[in-house]
């Protein structure tokens, strides 16, 4: 099982490098805006909603590439995209300090949750902190699926392990896959394992999964931002800023985050109230 997960991780890494190399050989055209996006915004359908709205109202073609936030940041440093959608605030700040970005606009947020098998073998209690839950997973050696893809969710997972004083390595109970959020959830379901997810993606997929929310910790917000990169044409910059702050975009965020009548994704302007 470990060998299979290693092969999957290596294959995904190689494919991602091929994609990055292909992108590095070309730049967006003058009438195209190219954005590298974290996978979760694509998994729960936000990107599919914004592309037709954007192209209807602005004189640009919008192309969005699905990668983990870590890869999006790498592409930003190569200067081959106009902007990125990311959810690793500390790395986004570093990108700006290094001079690669000219602005960062937070636009939406939800929460990170721990999901797992209905049997809950680690005996984690509802409402327990993620830090405490991770300790119980470690102590019970219950199977845990890590995205392992340098995404925002992967960064958050590693942050929680660090808070718990645990450094998981190459152990049987800990599987790093190198995949996006949707595939990580599917694998966790197939293997009756725990994993960390953003709330919206899980609820959009839950009917296909044999997983339940184990605990939700509101201390761990998941903030999505647009980072516009240095070298992007001024017309593109002003267009992106206008769109990301528009009421139409905020409306799509609110609508896209409604799952079974429950709001799970919110425009960033409401962040202080949660």
**Could you report the per-residue pLDDT of 222-252, keeping only the tens digit for each?**
999 999 999 999 999 999 999 999 999 999 9
pLDDT confidence of 262, banded at 50, 70, 90?
confident
> 165: alpha, beta or left, given left = phi > 0 and alpha = psi -120 to 50?
left
Domain 2-110+223-273 in CATH 3.40.190.10: yes
* Domain spans, the chain: 2-110+223-273, 112-220
Average model confidence (pLDDT) across the chain? 89
In this prediction, residue 68 carries a pLDDT of 81
CB atoms within 10 A of CB 229: 24
Architecture of the domain delimited by 112-220:
3-Layer(aba) Sandwich (3.40)
pLDDT for 247: 95
Convert the pLDDT of each residue in 82-120 to its tens digit: 999 999 999 999 999 999 999 999 999 999 999 999 999
Q: What is the DSSP string of 119-176?
A: T-TT-PPTT--HHHHHHHHHHHT--EEE--SS-HHHHHHHHHHHHTT----S-TTEEE
Q: Do domains 2-110+223-273 and 112-220 have the same CATH topology?
A: yes
pLDDT digits (tens, 9 = 90+) for 125-150: 999 999 999 999 999 999 999 999 88
Q: Which band of pLDDT confidence, cut at 50, 70 and 90, is reported for residue 158?
A: very high
Average pLDDT over residues 39-54: 92
Cα–Cα distance, 121 to 142 (Å, whole number): 7
d(CA 76, CA 83): 7
- Per-residue model confidence (pLDDT) at position 25: 47
Residue 245 confidence (pLDDT): 94
Phi, psi dihedrals of residue 148, rounded to the nearest 5°: 60, 30
57 — phi, psi (to 5°)? -100, -15
Percent of the chain with pLDDT over 70: 88
pLDDT of residue 58: 94
The pTM (predicted TM-score) of the whole model is: 0.84
The answer, yes or no, to whether residue 2 has pLDDT greater than 90, is no
Q: Is the pLDDT of residue 5 over 60?
A: no
Residue 16, pLDDT above cutoff 80: no
Q: What is the pLDDT of residue 20?
A: 52
């Amino acid at each position: 099982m470990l060998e299979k997960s290693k092969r999957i991780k290596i294959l995904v890494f190689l494919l991602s490098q091929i994609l990055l190399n292909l992108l590095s050989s070309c730049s967006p055209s003058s009438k195209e805006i190219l954005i590298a996006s974290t996978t979760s915004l694509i998994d729960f359908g936000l990107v599919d909603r914004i592309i037709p709205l954007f192209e209807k109202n602005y004189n640009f073609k919008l192309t969005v590439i699905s990668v983990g936030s870590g890869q999006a940041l790498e592409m930003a440093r190569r200067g081959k995209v106009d902007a990125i959608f990311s959810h690793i605030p500390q790395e986004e700040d570093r990108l700006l300090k290094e001079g690669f970005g000219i602005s960062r606009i937070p636009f939406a947020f939800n929460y990170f949750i721990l999901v797992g098998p209905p049997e809950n073998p680690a005996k984690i209690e509802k409402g327990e902190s993620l830090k405490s839950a991770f300790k119980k997973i470690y102590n019970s050696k219950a199977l845990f699926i890590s995205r392992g893809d340098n995404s925002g969710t992967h960064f958050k997972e590693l942050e929680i392990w660090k808070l718990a004083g645990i450094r998981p390595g190459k152990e049987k109970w800990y599987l790093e896959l190198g995949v996006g959020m949707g595939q990580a959830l599917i694998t966790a379901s197939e293997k009756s394992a725990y994993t960390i997810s953003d709330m919206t993606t899980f609820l959009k997929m839950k009917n296909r999964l044999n997983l339940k929310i184990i605990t939700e910790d509101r201390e761990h917000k998941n903030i999505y931002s647009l980072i516009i990169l240095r070298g992007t044409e001024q017309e593109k910059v002003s267009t992106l800023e206008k769109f990301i702050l528009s009421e139409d975009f905020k409306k799509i965020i609110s609508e896209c985050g409604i799952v079974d009548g429950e709001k799970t994704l919110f425009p960033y302007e409401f962040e202080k109230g949660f």
